[in-house]
Amino acid sequence: GAVVSQHPSRVICKSGTSVKIECRSLDFQATTMFWYRQFPKQSLMLMATSNEGSKATYEQGVEKDKFLINHASLTLSTLTVTSAHPEDSSFYICSAFRAVTGELFFGEGSRLTVL
């Protein structure tokens, strides 16, 4: 089946530093990828839609200058959390849309802890 790989799975960083998370679709091309954030015991919250070759579309309330998204190829999207603060600690999950089947597959998630 389709596989979406996300890296790193866990990251701990100091407040004020930046963290990059990668999302790769391994066996299909994804023109559209999505980035979600999930706080404990809450549902997935869509942060932004990443479109290959164009600017990402951010959901209301998500700071585009803080959460930088780059979708430079059909198999890779990256999310960079800039100047991270403890309140940015969360589970970040990417997903890739497989157009052929109309299905969305998720990466394994990245747990960010900002000290």
Partner 1 sequence: QKEVEQNSGPLSVPEGAIASLNCTYSDRVSQSFFWYRQYSGKSPELIMSIYSNGDKEDGRFTAQLNKASQYVSLLIRDSQPSDSATYLCAVILTGGGNKLTFGTGTQLKVEL
Judged by the rule CB under 8 A, the positions of this chain that interact with partner 1 are 6, 32, 34, 42-44, 46, 49, 91, 93, 95, 97, 99, 101-109, 111
Pairing of strands 90-98, 10-13: unpaired
In the complex, minimum distance from the CB of residue 44 to partner 1, in angstroms, rounded to a whole number: 5
1 or 14, CB closer to partner 1?
Answer: 1
Tokens linked to 49: 């839609």
Nearer to partner 1, 23 or 114 (CB): 23
Q: Could you count the other beta carbons within 10 Å of the beta carbon of residue 60?
A: 4
- Least distance CB 16 / partner 1 (angstroms): 27
Q: How far is the CB of 32 from partner 1 (least distance, A)?
A: 5
Comparing CB distances to partner 1, the nearer of 34 and 114 is: 34
Residue 79 phi, psi (nearest 5) = -120, 125
Helices (H) and strands (E) in the chain, counts: 0, 11
The residue (of 16 and 26) whose beta carbon lies closer to partner 1 is 26
Provide the sign of the torsion angle of the four alpha carbons 110, 64, 23, 108, taken in this order: positive
